[in-house]
Chains A and B, each alone.
Chain A
């Protein structure tokens, strides 16, 4: 299974953009890149996902490198409510490949 590598922790000032990196050098051509976040004392929640092209939604943007070996989750203006653990995972949607493996993620601290 393709794995991902993320920094253990990052800090950001409130109202500034945040770029959360993820390396996935062994990604296969059919792996989707998913991002989830987990607020304190809650279950993880879906943030965004993509395959090759950059993606935007109301929560964040996902920038995917041209070779797909890395990606970056972009929070355009960090708020205190964005303080969470962010997980980057790969998912292969082919039949029998619907396992989702999480690592330890990146703990984001937002400084007021």
Chain B
């Protein structure tokens, strides 16, 4: 793995509770991304960041917020989790050549 750590690896939570997923990189890359992966939909971009405090929406951003207070950390928050947000979440970073490197993923179950 290209210095990307996601935590937690697995989480089970209840509908309506807040959830924060963390992505940590040791590569000092500018761009970071959050994706979700669901059967039949492939990988879909939720939010991405192009620097500290600089973030933008992806194609499925509703119900999610992100924050990046340090280069190495990119947080994804579900303010009030819903069952439709049960998914596998992947964090990725982009190097200077534009190649993406992914973390190992977080399996989130919202009951």
Contact = CB atoms under 8 A, between A and B. Distances in A.
Contacts of B40: 104
Contact of B33 (A34, A46, A100): A100
Contacts of B41: 104
B85 interface: no
Contacts of B35: 102
A99 B101 contact: no
Interface residues of B, number: 25
- Interface range on chain A (Cβ under 8 Å from partner): 20 to 34
Q: Is the interface of A mostly helix, strand, loop or mixed?
A: loop
A102 B98 CA distance: 15
Q: Is the interface of B mostly helix, strand, loop or mixed?
A: strand
A102 B43 CA distance: 6
Interface of B: 31, 33, 35, 40-45, 48, 50, 58-59, 90, 92, 94, 97-105
A34 B99 CA distance: 8
Given A98-B94, A102-B35, A46 B101 contact: yes
A22 B102 CA distance: 22
Contacts of A98: 31, 48, 50, 94, 98
A17 B56 CA distance: 40
Interface of A: 32, 34, 36, 42-46, 49, 85, 87, 91, 93, 96, 98-105
B43 A44 contact: yes
Nearest to A42: B104
23 contacts: A32-B98, A34-B99, A34-B100, A36-B100, A43-B90, A43-B104, A43-B105, A44-B90, A45-B101, A45-B102, A46-B100, A46-B101, A49-B99, A87-B43, A96-B50, A98-B31, A98-B50, A99-B48, A100-B45, A100-B94, A101-B59, A102-B42, A105-B42
Nearest to A93: B98
